[in-house]
Amino acid sequence: MSDTPTRIQFSINGTGAAAEAEPRMLLADFIRHRLGLTGTHVGCAHGACGACTVLVDGRPARSCLMFAIQAQGADISTVEGLASDSSLSALQDEFRNHHALQCGFCTPGMLMSASALLTENPDPSEEEIRRALAGNLCRCTGYNNIVRAVKAVAVRRRK
Amino acid sequence: MKEAKETGCYTGVAVRRREDERFLRGQGRYIDDLPEPSGLLYLGFVRSTHAHAAIRSINAESARALPGVTSVVTGADLAAWTIPMATPAPDGKKLLRHNMAVERVRYVAEPVAAVLAANPYLLEDALELVEVDYDPLTPVVSIADARKADAPRLYDYLSSNIVFEAKYAIPGTDEAFAKAPHVFADTFSSTRLSGVAMETRGFIASFEKGRNNLTLWSTAHLPHKERWEVADALGLAEKNVRIISPDVGGSFGLKTSTFPEVVAGAAISRRFGRPVKWLQDRQEDLAVMHGRDFQFHIELAVDDNGLILGVRNTPVVNIGAYPMWVTTAGLDAAGAGHHMMGPYKVKHYAYHAMSVVTNTAPTSSVRGVGAPICSFGMESLLTRAAEKLGIDPVEIRRRNLIKKEDLPYKNAVNVTHDTASNVECLDRALERSGFMEFRKTQSGKPGRDGKLRGIGLACMADHTGQGTSVTRSRGQASRWPGYDGALIKIEPDGKAVVHVSVASQGQGHETVFAQLAADGLGLSIGDVTVEAADTASVPFGTGAGASRAAVAAGGAVIKASTRIAEKMKRIAGHMLEASPGDIVLSEGKAFVTGVPNLAVTIAKIAETAYMIGTGQMPKDETIGLDALEYYDPPSSSYAMGTHVAQVAVDPGTGLVTVERYYVVHDCGRVLNPSIVEGQIVGAIVQGIGAALMEGARYSEDGQPLSTTLLDYTIPTTLDVPEIVVDHIETPSTFTLGGMKGAGESGAVGSVPAIILAVADALSAHKPKITTMPLTPSTVLSLMGVR
């Protein structure tokens, strides 16, 4: 297999960028080790745990199941793009308020899935939240505080 | 959620977690997020594909020839660079663990060779090129296989596969059984679990030849224990090994073990003079990170009124191919002997605990250790006894629970219960769950949706915060002593750093210990930082685990902050011309009681203590503001609670859904209600997994069958009901601060509550449920459907 790198142009958290990736480099590794954005975590590398979830053109994607070259021209969002320098986003803030994280390893993927849900459906029901997050595993919290945190964002937006 | 009570008291308040902001921003620093040292090589392991085989040959030529591959190391190479870990075995012998297989493999996924490569992708290529030729041997997989008289022995130098045995009996136990009018008995088992921490294990090992120093950034749950074990295996002094556990993504007990890869990695780094990095992939994790492979034969003797006359327990633990703790092969087995009585009064008790080795992955303790299966057995047998004797199942529990009037109650393994809100927990759980009404109207009956409903109740007590006296009485004196340490320093600017000997894997230590220290020192919590990660800077201690950090490290933080506070009061008294006894520390200031204007800031006191200002110290006062204290809990303290689970069973598919869950819980003084509730709920959901879906299964020839998260399923958002948590807060009379542990009790009570709820739903079929998980096919077979 050729290991000749390809130059990829993309946008990361709203900023245009370009970098090289070997043909078989996973998008997760590219984001983490080539771009240095280590907030996106790899929990299983077989598409089952959701820890590596990022948004590709606004839709949640498992960056462990994509090659970096598939992101040619794509608009990629990662957890690092959620907060401003000074303050957390409403979703991050409600995660903190509701103790929706313990070890924090699954949290970035969980935030990205929840953020995609809230963009698509600003006022989801509990059932809709549970379905949208069913592909993101968490072993610490038991999930209920995560569901409450997402719900609280919707309530906060309604006010 | 409030940041603090108006009184300035943080302890007991749901203070928002101080670790959260970095995690939420994606700035957590787990092993694979750390900057990589220059010259780093990536390490991977060729693993056995056989459960039991002799190694004929290893051919690594094509792997070595691959550009980018630095070296291939075999088990024989590693054996020459390390000292095997030796665990006491019967007949005064030692069971020797090599950290990579030498001549013989004993489980699928045992490391056989290690490859070093320039990048992780090349490493994967190279691992596939190493050829190992095996001569298969007969594998021993199950407890039953291992105990057969003619079973193949895993270790030729041991007389059998039973590598640990412990017996204990209160005199008169057998006689009590012989005379008892009713004896109920069965064998209760668990299917082996995998821990599935979201972050798999990993490390960066960096050996500096010139200084003879090893630095190990590791997912270690017990950094000091890992330091000792690695130092011992490499023949280094402990002072020359530094373990740094950065942010760690969950453990649930599994990462307390020092696994073979970390010892191999440290030795390889020393040998080649290069830093090496290893990350476990999820398939490896699911193949080797196992625990709770138990078969407990439990007997319960009761009188005509359902009062317990005696209990006998024969716990057998499949520990896999070798013990993971160097000091004992019986950690789980002995624990099962110890944890059997739970919240009940048991006068006569005996156990005969044993561990067997098999050709399966070595196991570690999983959250709850033996207690969930002890509780499963006890609650099931009490339920059967109630039915046979015509006593209400709640009433039989109530009659046997340890009550306030029994205090102090010394149990059958000589541990004293200091508080007992068992009856209050039970009553409140009955009230909140509507248990009695549900049983009358819905139990075992199909609802409109055709599903059968059931409700299950379990009373439980969890042994927490064990101090050295109990550890020693259990014969476990080792690198698991029982105390913990805290080193607190107020820096010259008046702000504090707290170093604790317990590392966190997500439990919120940076918050709770800051709460205790801020209150003890009279500082704003924003001026207190907690550090726990580095053996070079934290005091020695036992470490988190067995529900002990809040008790042991919490006590140490209280002691150290009290000592510094006393010194600050002496200095402030001198500065304000008041008696130290009249000084109050609060909100960063020291003031005279009743005269809040007569005050000096803690910053000023620190300046004085470090003699960097012009303030005068009292005569004979020492320089500085720091204190190192250890706290050794005088005993253990039992946390307790009642769990109620309500389930629906689909009679067509056999699928069980937990629909409602209630727990009323008493873990003594609560430091942070939000964190305690998070621990309890998280553990209950792990119990849902264990009871209904999880199983790290093996084929008959010892091949692991669930090495992806599609085969080993854990609960998702869709498997978890509303979980109502209610606290009764009875401060421990034994522990400094009144805390008891909260980490494991959720995992203990949930297993019996859920299983008894399923049994209740299926009551028409009179099922005797003795194992788990209750997968749909198991449930259908309990219903007589094949």
Closest Cα in chain B, distance from residue A73 (Å): 24
Whose CA is closest to B74, among B114, B128, B28, B132?
Answer: B114
Contacts of residue A138 in chain B, CB cutoff 8 Å? 198
Is the confidence at residue B414, as pLDDT, over 80? yes
Q: What gap in Å lies between CA B625 and CA B510, rounded to an integer? A: 21
Contacts of residue B200 in chain A, CB cutoff 8 Å? 43
Closest Cα in chain A, distance from residue B739 (Å): 20
Closest Cα in chain A, distance from residue B280 (Å): 10
Residue A3 has a pLDDT of 81
> Would you state the structure tokens that stand for residue B332, as one six-digit string?
């789980």
Query: Over pLDDT 90: what percentage of chain B?
Result: 96
Under 8 Å between Cβ of B559 and B631: yes
* Residue A140 to residue B723, Cβ atoms within 8 A: no
Which of B250, B674, B722 is the closest to A99 by Cβ? B674
Is the confidence at residue B409, as pLDDT, over 50? yes
Residue B475 has a pLDDT of 73
Other Cβ atoms within 10 Å of B710 Cβ, number: 11
Is the confidence at residue B477, as pLDDT, over 70? no
pLDDT-based confidence at B6, cuts 50/70/90? very low
Name the β-bridge partners of B725: B663
User: How many cross-chain Cβ pairs, A to B, lie less than 8 Å apart?
Assistant: 174
* Residue B20 to residue A25, Cβ atoms within 8 A: no
pLDDT-based confidence at B4, cuts 50/70/90? very low
* Residue A99 to residue B716, Cβ atoms within 8 A: no
* Residue A39 to residue B198, Cβ atoms within 8 A: no
Which of A48, A99, A129 is the closest to B17 by Cβ? A99
pLDDT tens string B310-364: 999 999 999 999 999 999 999 999 999 999 999 999 999 999 999 999 999 999 9
Residues 92-121 of B with CB under 8 A from A: 120-121
Spans of chain A below 70 pLDDT = 1-2
Q: What gap in Å lies between CA B773 and CA B763, rounded to an integer? A: 18
Give the up-direction half-sphere exposure of residue B393: CA atoms within 13 A in the CB hemisphere.
23
Q: Which long-range contacts (CB under 8 A, 24 or more apart) does B269-274 make?
A: B269/B205, B269/B206, B269/B207, B269/B214, B270/B81, B270/B207, B270/B209, B270/B214, B270/B234, B271/B73, B271/B81, B272/B41, B272/B70, B272/B71, B272/B116, B273/B207, B273/B209, B274/B39, B274/B40, B274/B41, B274/B70, B274/B116
Is the confidence at residue B3, as pLDDT, over 70? no
* Residue A103 to residue B247, Cβ atoms within 8 A: yes
Residues B390-426 as b or e (16 or more Cβ within 10 Å = b): ebebbebbbbbbbbeeeeebebbbebbbbbbbbbbbb
Mean pLDDT of B503-527: 97
Residue A2 has a pLDDT of 63
Give residue for tokens 């954005």. Answer: A37
Closest Cα in chain B, distance from residue A116 (Å): 16
Contacts of residue A102 in chain B, CB cutoff 8 Å? 250, 506-508, 678, 682
Name the amino acid, one letter, at B316. Answer: V
| Apex B768 CA angle, B765 and B774, nearest 5 | 90
Is the confidence at residue B5, as pLDDT, over 50? no
> Closest residue of A to B505, CA-based?
A103
CB contact, 8 Å: B219 with chain A? no
Residue B564 has a pLDDT of 98
Q: What gap in Å lies between CA B301 and CA B225, rounded to an integer? A: 41
Arithmetic mean of pLDDT over chain B: 96
Closest Cα in chain B, distance from residue A86 (Å): 11
Mean pLDDT of B242-258: 97
CB contact, 8 Å: B249 with chain A? yes
Residue B1 has a pLDDT of 40
Residue B119 has a pLDDT of 95
Q: What is the CA radius of gyration of chain B?
A: 27
Chain-centroid distance of CA B67 in Å reads 43
Bin B172: left if φ > 0, else alpha if -120 < ψ < 50, else beta. left
Helix axes B673-692, A144-158, angle to 10 degrees: 120
pLDDT tens string B50-75: 999 999 999 999 999 999 999 999 99
pLDDT tens string B743-757: 999 999 999 999 999
* Candidate from B126-140, B473-487, B531-545 with smallest mean pLDDT: B473-487
Residue B7 has a pLDDT of 44
Closest Cα in chain A, distance from residue B500 (Å): 18
Residues 7-26 of B with CB under 8 A from A: 14, 16-17, 19-26
Name the β-bridge partners of B315: B296
pLDDT-based confidence at B613, cuts 50/70/90? confident
Which of B22, B30, B675 is the closest to A99 by Cβ? B675
Other Cβ atoms within 10 Å of B88 Cβ, number: 16
pLDDT tens string B204-234: 999 999 999 999 999 999 999 999 999 999 9
